[in-house]
Structure 1
Amino acid sequence: MDTTPVNCKSLGKYFCLNGKLLEEQYFSHLSDFTSWNQLDHAEDHIVFPENIGEHITIDETSLSQGELYTIVTNKAAKGQKGALIAMIKGTESEKVRSILVRKIPHHARRKVEEVTLDMAANMEQIVRKTFTRATLVTDRFHVQKLAYDAVQQMRIAYRWEAIDLENKEIELARELGKTFVANRLENGDTHKQLLARSRYLLFKNKSKWSPSQIWRAELLFKYYPELSKAYDLAQKLGHIYHTVKDKGVAYLNLARWYDQVEKAGFKSFNTVSRTIQNHYQTILNFFERRSTNAAAESFNAKIKAFRSQFRGVKNVSFFLYRLSKIYA
């Protein structure tokens, strides 16, 4: 079933009607918005306990002007009708927990067997105190992103050094009354350009590099060998996620990876390894069913597309009403 939203103005244009008037009529008369049973608290929270399932996700999303909402969804609905369990204004754990506990019966919350989430401490607290029987699974993509961000942090630091060196060479040439000519590498890049243009290849596996990216990577790792080591560490972490299907094996492989990180001595990667160690149990839970938070990220994308379709959120309650009609 296609759940792509269509606004009244587009519908009016298609049927040669006044779109603005149609929207006003829908708001006031055609819809049951004014008698909606969640209208009095919609801007603060909407909850649909009937949509609870065994495998759910929890995440945060922004509606407008940076206003954050905690969103809980049912994986089994696959982003269609019945997916939305709750949207609660804010991310403060005690507030969100109290609303979920009050609105969703105890027996329904005990049905939840697994919750996927990111590494935010507030989300973990919400889940542990609300869905007490559930297994927590830290999303693999958030863990891998930490490693990729560590590599990019090193690349950016090298790039600032290259920019600083080039500025000094320009100033020196000016003092000597000479024309500055940038030193170019074999592929025509300067060091500054090489580091800037290598951003995307550092996110990809070597097997997916284009010919120009292979050449650029060879030069990058030749002049910045520490980046090569950092790239390999990030790829090895990804390889564990891609290939390991047993929790015990994953534990051993991650332990070996920690050892490699310590030997490398990269400050940014030490931060990554400490973060993983602090969440190791929920990270290892991934290898039981290989569950991810992709459903939550996909649902967030749907909300953003919905918001874009209606050119922003002018009336939060009405926006959530329309959202609930499609996804709740």
Structure 2
Amino acid sequence: MTHTPRAAHLHTPVLLDECLDMLAPAIDGPGAVLVDATLGMGGHAEAALTRFPDLRLIGIDRDPQALALASERLALFDDRFTPVHATYDRIDEAVADHGRDGAVDGVLMDLGVSSLQLDETDRGFSYAHDAPLDMRMDPTSGPSAADLLATADERELTRILRSYGEERFAPRIARLIVRARDERPLTRTGQLVDLVKEAIPAPARRTGGNPAKRTFQALRVAVNDELRILQDALPRALGALRVGGRLVVESYQSLEDRIVKDVLRRGSTDSAPPGLPVIPDDMRASLRLLTRGADRAHDAELAHNPRSASVRLRGAELIRPWKDPA
């Protein structure tokens, strides 16, 4: 099987075998359907379609460029692959349109920014290269990072940097952004990197990597509404699974992982009051957890793919029809 070199090499899937092993009991069989809710460059999807010859896969991505390249990569799988251009909180709509009897057997989510978005320097996701301040995962819609920096007041900028980047110097950075934009628009990543370096005291810049990392993460999360989409997508994904289906999620930062952990914990806990002698079925847990805590990348994975260093892998099996306990 051959693919275009660009599509084949832009994405190295993280914990690929571990994800597929966790999904296998649900998707290894005739008529099985898997949703790759964050298709990206299609690395996980290609491996799943190759390993499970009876599998059909629905691939969702908001990035038109990623969707086109992944579709090219997966073209030889013909009608076993269905691309969907959408944010993945619309997973229930995608399943209703393309699932089997309105349900699916597995859902995979590989969260955060993709290799394509990081490596294409003109997208503005990277603090390592000067580029337009865009950061939109779908560059055809919505305000860019430059738009956000031009319009948000100092208080809102502080909230974004503190809440989404866990940046302890958020007020200083926000104050400097507002002061700088009064002199000239902030339109380049290089301008923002320089501002952050100026705002953070020298001793704090000596450890922890690039001092702009947390600011860039925060703006990316805000521009793409990532945490709200994740919060909405998880219960919809679980509601789209048939009993026996499995959800597997890879997170790369603590804010995402906290949301995933909370939803899976609630779903795997009986809702009956303590001491009830018999637990009614509608108060029993909907989920069985597949990981103790979160799985991490092993040494071989870290050596092969340095981007796996921060991954947290969690999974759950639907053992009763989903009832959101929230």
Whether TM exceeds 0.5 here: the answer is no
Larger RCO (CA under 8 A, 6+ residues apart): 1
TM-score by length of 2: 0.27
Structure number with the higher helix fraction is 1
